[in-house]
Structure 1
């Protein structure tokens, strides 16, 4: 296999119907492009889903933080650069940089991934895949200047906001609710009038457990120290009504 560069660079387009009423790309679609860039990068280098599925394994996202100075506008071409900066037995961390055609930096992302067995849904040793091939592509000299995900703490009795059902279009290639769907559902907790006055500065999400089609999702929100900084918890309930945590988020606006 030909040794590729450690950093991958992929071109995307801010399609007009992936943009909000301000003519800027939705955060959820940007998150989706980042996950696609991660998939392209890992597949090109031999440890992506194309290979993993042949040995009954897959990547799952554990944490994602996105921090933006500006979002691409409708019809803008932009690039996402991505690289792995560490790989351990159970987790690997991957960075993202979002850049305009002219070289302007829109923002950055940080993520943590685990590899699981498709049957047991349990973590497997990342470094055992292809004799630790991923270690050949670790880039530690290029920095991602944003903070790692913070620890989101919720009170014992946060305020419930809403509950939603899950359907076919919520499910991704791994058979569980799509990582980006949670982002979209969380951002819907604020109405249009809020977004007319505020922009998303930073979004963090930490995944605790999988959910599947048919699970009911419940959303809880608390304000932090500032009136533009929030914590969100998502839980799921099964057909018996048993509720358990799925993920936690932090959303910062300006």
Structure 2
């Protein structure tokens, strides 16, 4: 049996939505994390398969495009599929539909990390149990570079990391950063605008007691960049948010 694509349905609940009752970015990433985990397990490269070998998946980059809002109570169809990896980069597509009409499209990049050395493992370290890889991406995207914020004067959002931000890899989970990024915008700003797309590049891991400052800058009419800085020293994420 081939598991080159995984699909499921989900009815949006309160925790999936924001103050406008719209599907929020962090919930989108949570959908992706859960479905990618299930699909990876079916392919024989899930957490239980990799842990004994000292390997784990790390999301390095993700681009998410939103065509129309999805609301509390809506039922959506979620699909994900991996693409053929290169030497060390694994790409994976995601698609969220309502009534089989695409509402969210995404493309992500992952790597395998060695828990002992902290180094990236080659793609040849694993064997995904699939007869074929789907070539078609959910969205055409290749602009992975995000500029850093130049003038880091006053942070738009700050927090000190505690254990509630952690996942099973003992670092801040990737979905948390979506909330941090959008906390850089006010309710007034988010009410007046619709998110067209967002992109997050994960640069460094963060851990308990780290202090994160998030700075934002507007680089064009509807485009903002956000940078997260750890303990006033090193960048941990960069993000780009485009509004319609």
Which position in structure 2 is the counterpart of 1:173?
168
Q: From 22, 25, 35, give the equivalent of 2:23.
A: 25
Provide the alpha-carbon RMSD of the alignment: 1.7
Tell me how many residue pairs correspond in the alignment. Answer: 243
Range moving further from structure 2, 119-128 or 107-116: 119-128
Structure 2: gaps (5+ residues): none
The correspondence of residues 119-138 of structure 1 with structure 2, limited to 5 A, is 119-129=116-126, 132-133=127-128, 136-138=131-133
User: Shift in Å at residue 21 of structure 1?
Assistant: 2.1
Which position in structure 2 is the counterpart of 1:116?
113
The correspondence of residues 143-182 of structure 1 with structure 2, limited to 5 A, is 143-161=137-155, 162-182=157-177
- Matches of 1:77 and 1:149, distance apart in 2: 31
Which position in structure 2 is the counterpart of 1:94?
92
Change in 2 beyond 3 A, CA 1:113/1:137 = farther
Which position in structure 2 is the counterpart of 1:234?
228
Q: Does 1:225 align with 2:223?
A: no
Structure 1: gaps (5+ residues): none
User: Shift in Å at residue 150 of structure 1?
Assistant: 3.4
Conserved 8 A contact 1:65-1:204: yes
Deviating beyond 6 angstroms after TM superposition, the runs of 4 or more aligned structure 1 residues are none
- Matches of 1:155 and 1:235, distance apart in 2: 10
SS at match of 1:127: helix
User: Shift in Å at residue 20 of structure 1?
Assistant: 1.5
TM-score under structure 1 normalisation?
0.90
TM-score under structure 2 normalisation?
0.93
SS at match of 1:224: strand
SS at match of 2:49: helix
- Matches of 1:62 and 1:157, distance apart in 2: 25
- Matches of 1:42 and 1:137, distance apart in 2: 14
Q: Does 1:84 align with 2:78?
A: no
Change in 2 beyond 3 A, CA 1:183/1:155 = closer
